[in-house]
Amino acid sequence: MGYDIRTYGDPVLATVAATVDNIDGKIVRLADSMLQAMYRAPGLGLAAPQIGVQKQVFVYDVEDEPTVLVNPIIVESSGEWIYDEGCLSIPGLYVEMVRPKEVLLRGLDLDGNEVEIEADELLARLFQHELDHLNGVLMFDRMTEDQRKRALAEYRKLQDDAVPLGESRRIGLD
């Protein structure tokens, strides 16, 4: 039981998610379902649109500390970092992408308190990747025309080969 993770081509992944006005029981249950789906995948993070919910919520767990962020924004970013980025919504595809190395993220926790998190490298990348999902942006949208063509061809091939997602699978961001 639970939510299926939406994959590339699903219009919900190309939609800007709505701001959460009221952190009520529904949002708490949504966060719980998202964490379950994330651990099951498994991934390090998950954004609400990935289970078909158009709300500004994402969850992550990179150091055994499940965390939920509501209405997150990146307020500062700096540096550059190269990382072989993956996405649960584009299963099997990993593409080297350059993005800022450090970010400062601001959002709300489930109690409605404002939180600020400084992140570097992997966590900073995860934040940027999840923020993209909340804005309807996928990795393909961040690529040059050439990169996109190659990545799409590789992704289609992965799907044609229908490689089962077994234990050999790498863990991407989400």
- Residues annotated as catalytic are 130
174 binds Ni ion (CB under 5 A): yes
Select the span of 27-35, 70-78, 84-92, 111-119 touching Ni ion (CB under 5 A). Answer: 84-92
| Pick from 77, 12, 72, 82: nearest CA to 45 | 72
In angstroms, what is the minimal distance from the CB of 174 to Ni ion?
4
59/87 with CB nearer Ni ion: 87
38/87 with CB nearer Ni ion: 87
Among 41, 44, 57, 87, binds Ni ion (CB under 5 A): 87
Nearer to Ni ion, 23 or 60 (CB): 60
Maximum Cα–Cα distance across the chain:
46
Catalogue the E-assigned strands of the chain: 45-47, 57-60, 67-78, 81-86, 94-99, 102-108, 114-120
> Does residue 85 belong to the site contacting Ni ion (CB under 5 A)?
no
CA 124, 116, 79, 144 torsion-angle sign: positive
Contact 30, 70 (CB under 8 A): no
Give the interface with Ni ion as residue ranges (CB under 5 A).
87, 174
